[in-house]
Amino acid sequence: MKISQVKARQILDSRSNPTIEVDCTLENGIFVRTGVPSGASVGSKEAFELRDNDKKHFFGKGVKMAVNNVNSIIAPEIIGMDVTKQREIDELLISLDGTKDKSNLGANAILGVSLAVCRAASIYANLPLFSYIGGLGANLLPVPFMNIINGGVHANWQGADFQEYMIAPYGAKSFEESYEWGSEIYQSLKSLLKEKRYNVSVGDEGGFVPLVSSNEEPLDLISKAVENVGLSIGRDVGFAIDPASSEFYKDGKYILKNQNLELDSISMIDYYEKIVNDYPVVLLEDGLAEYDWDNWKILNDRLGRNIEIVGDDIFVTNLNIVKKGVLDNIANAVLIKLNQIGTLSETIDVVNFARQHNWGCFVSHRSGETTDSFIADFVVGLGLGHIKTGAPARGERVEKYNQLLRIEEFLSGKSVFAGKSILKKSNGEAQSS
Ligand SMILES: C=C(OP(=O)(O)O)C(=O)O
Ligand SMILES: [Mg+2]
């Protein structure tokens, strides 16, 4: 089945920044649409997000050049191609761009087309998107890692230094129950914050931004919120933290403004070790900065047996960097963000390589999002077991979780919920505080 039309336009994302939306039509009339997300705490080696230099509009953040690249350079080349040839199309996109970092056409332009092609092909194949991506056996529903306290750059540095405090309700029996627990904990946290006279405004990913006095305080607040809904922290629900530490790493030091601390890498690892001993943390993402490669190995040696040590900014979903990370044994998992690399096929290559080496793959949204739910189907399709897509609130976040509900319903009893299988600790249960 041939592609008959590809058309991009500029829309707004959840932060009011311009982003790309791509429509794709097939010769038989099948029509699909995809939206491209955008990050704020961005790794330096991410594929290039093309933005306009025109300061008169959107402070220079427009994506009209990228839109134009889709409509006048990419579209004429891929119209007439067989929509089921994903890899061929992705390779063509890469060669049309011709640069290593996709800076010519823009990774945002390229990704929008790559994902639209996949979605259109799934409809042509008469398969749900997750089955088209992963085959008929795909049935593993992920644990939703819900980011309910935001800090760092996602909170304009008005709250905790750490960017994301996530809850992982792995003790539930289904995705639906896990999501329901997440929502109840979110509401319970809101009540607790009000009681304590904290504000209940939210950050970029829908989590609250209390003006806490330490980076551990969010963990205490959430623990209480969990207890208040009758669940057990550690047994039913664990924590994940993404400090996004590249954002507060300067001249070899980690600057924790909240606590007036300047820590070297080893002291920063000590700090995390204490947190992991005191709270049931099951995953630490970007504990160290992307420029602190050698100390990642120490972090992984110290904590990697018991928890997932995930690299985001340091790996940027780039196969060559992940290969080096596996060789140097600096982590045990990779964050998977499609727009960090720019095509579906290259993202799947990273997943396959990571899995061959027993690394975890933690699927992620971006802090600037659209209502596109592609990553929900992606995580089930590839059976990756866990996903983070913000708080169980705000349309662009819940649309991904809601799509997972629909997938679980579609599989009607034939699905498996990842639950505690995602935990590294051999006893299958995180330590209780
Ligand atoms: C989702 C994240 O934030 P951003 O999209 O801003 O990189 C992250 O750091 O994992
Ligand atoms: Mg991150």
8 Å CB contact between 372 and 35: yes
Distance 382 CA to ligand 2 centre (A): 21
Could you identify the atom of ligand 1 that is nearest to the CA of residue 42? 7
Pocket test for ligand 1, best of 162, 361, 366, 386 (most atoms within 8 A of CB): 366
Tell me 259's DSSP state. Answer: G
Distance 366 CA to ligand 1 centre (A): 5
Residue 116 and residue 122: Cα distance in Å, rounded? 10
Instruction: For residue 289, give the nearest of 163, 388, 386, 168 by alpha carbon.
Output: 163
Counting ligands in written order, the one closest to the CA of 286 is 2
Pocket test for ligand 1, best of 367, 369, 394, 397 (most atoms within 8 A of CB): 367
Pocket test for ligand 1, best of 41, 108, 370 (most atoms within 8 A of CB): 41
| pTM of the predicted protein model | 0.97
Residue 421 and residue 325: Cα distance in Å, rounded? 24
Could you identify the atom of ligand 1 that is nearest to the CA of residue 43? 7
C-alpha pair distances (Å), 264 with each of 28, 160, 281? 60, 19, 22
In 10 A of CB 213, how many CB atoms? Answer: 10
The domain made up of 140-422 is a member of CATH 3.30.43.10? no
The CATH classification number of 2-126 equals 3.30.390.10
8 Å CB contact between 333 and 360: yes
For the chain, which residues make up each domain, given as ranges? 2-126, 140-422
Query: How is residue 13 written in tokens?
Result: 């994302």
Q: Is 426 annotated as a binding residue?
A: no
Residue with CA at minimum distance from ligand 1 atom 1: 366
Same fold, 2-126 and 140-422: no
Query: CA-based diameter of the chain, in Å?
Result: 62
Residues 6 or more apart whose Cβ sits within 8 Å of residue 136: none
Residue 431 and residue 234: Cα distance in Å, rounded? 6
Which residues sit with their C-beta closer than 6 Å to ligand 1? 39-42, 242, 244, 312, 364, 366-367
In 334-394, which ranges are continuous DSSP H helix?
Answer: 338-341, 344-356, 374-381
Q: Is 15 annotated as a binding residue?
A: no
Residue 247 and residue 421: Cα distance in Å, rounded? 31
ipTM over 0.95: yes
Residues 6 or more apart whose Cβ sits within 8 Å of residue 172: 178, 180, 181, 236, 417, 419
Residue 196 and residue 330: Cα distance in Å, rounded? 40
Q: Is 364 annotated as a binding residue?
A: yes
Residue 362 and residue 333: Cα distance in Å, rounded? 7
Query: How is residue 133 written in tokens?
Result: 């991506």
Per-residue pLDDT of the chain (433 residues), as tens digits, is: 999 999 999 999 999 999 999 999 999 999 999 999 999 999 999 999 999 989 999 999 999 999 999 999 999 999 999 999 999 999 999 999 999 999 999 999 999 999 999 999 999 999 999 999 999 999 999 999 999 999 999 999 999 999 999 999 999 999 999 999 999 999 999 999 999 999 999 999 999 999 999 999 999 999 999 999 999 999 999 999 999 999 999 999 999 999 999 999 999 999 999 999 999 999 999 999 999 999 999 999 999 999 999 999 999 999 999 999 999 999 999 999 999 999 999 999 999 999 999 999 999 999 999 999 999 999 999 999 999 999 999 999 999 999 999 999 999 999 999 999 999 975 445 544 3
Q: What is the dihedral angle through the alpha carbons of 360, 34, 407, 202, rounded to the nearest 10 degrees?
A: 70
Q: How many CA atoms lie within 13 A of 85 on its CB side?
A: 13
Active-site amino acid positions? 205, 337
CA dihedral sign of residues 127, 168, 171, 385: positive
Please identify every residue whose CB atom is under 5 Å from ligand 2, which is an ion: 242, 286, 312
